[in-house]
Amino acid sequence: MRLLITGGAGFIGSNLAELAVASGHDVVVLDDLSTGYLDNLGAYVEFVEGSILDKDRLASMVRGVDSIVHLAALGSVPRSIANPGATHAVNTNGTFAVLEAARSVGAHVVFSSSSSVYGMNPALPKHEREWV
Ligand SMILES: NC(=O)c1ccc[n+]([C@@H]2O[C@H](COP(=O)([O-])OP(=O)(O)OC[C@H]3O[C@@H](n4cnc5c(N)ncnc54)[C@H](O)[C@@H]3O)[C@@H](O)[C@H]2O)c1
């Protein structure tokens, strides 16, 4: 399978890339290195530096891709409060752009949300039917 991992130079994406390559998949990473590190990725992974907000780049990268694991995001609730526009642009508009790109080629998408959606609720374990 050919996989596109957005945010693949980050914590989860780089570990996933390593596992996917070891499992025989063909992996390409798109990451703008805003919080991720190229050093997280081995030389065995194809890497493109760029943003999910660049629709032309996304359109060219989804060609021939079977599945997209969408992990590009700006984390941190305090960051989102200090600069909501930047967080909204990447996490909301960026996710929409990834979904549209996937739709254009019929690729499957795996998305990782965040426990931040549950707010300050201290209950554990968290589950999807829980309200804030
Ligand atoms: N780490 C966790 O424990 C955890 C748990 C649950 C969910 N998640 C979610 O999984 C996702 C990834 O988490 P992580 O811990 O790997 O985060 P991370 O910050 O390590 O990785 C995110 C990557 O996205 C990249 N990025 C940011 N904006 C981008 C853009 N516009 N275009 C391309 N790349 C961009 C960053 O450079 C970084 O490499 C996030 O959505 C996070 O909320 C993380």
Please write the tens of the pLDDT for every residue from 29-57: 999 999 999 999 988 899 999 999 999 99
Is the pLDDT score of 16 beyond 90? yes
Q: Give, for ligand 1, the residue of 35, 87, 92 to mutate: max count of ligand atoms closer than 8 Å to Cβ.
A: 35
Q: Note whether residue 109 is domain-resident.
A: yes
Q: Note whether residue 113 is domain-resident.
A: yes
Q: Give, for ligand 1, the residue of 4, 32, 96 to mutate: max count of ligand atoms closer than 8 Å to Cβ.
A: 32
Q: Domain count of the chain?
A: 1
Q: Give the rounded percent of residues in the chain with a pLDDT score beyond 70.
A: 98
Residue 113 belongs to a domain with what CATH number?
Answer: 3.40.50.720
Q: What CA–CA distance (Å, rounded) separates 84 from 41?
A: 29
Nearest residue CA, atom 42 of ligand 1?
114
Residue-level pLDDT at 132: 61
Residue-level pLDDT at 106: 97
Rg (CA), the chain: 15
Q: How is residue 39 written in tokens?
A: 């050093």
Confidence of residue 119 (pLDDT cuts 50, 70, 90): confident
Beta strands in 59-124 (DSSP E): 67-70, 108-111
- Residue whose token pair is 């549209």: 100
Q: Note whether residue 61 is domain-resident.
A: yes
Q: Note whether residue 101 is domain-resident.
A: yes
Q: Note whether residue 30 is domain-resident.
A: yes
Residue 31: domain span = 2-118
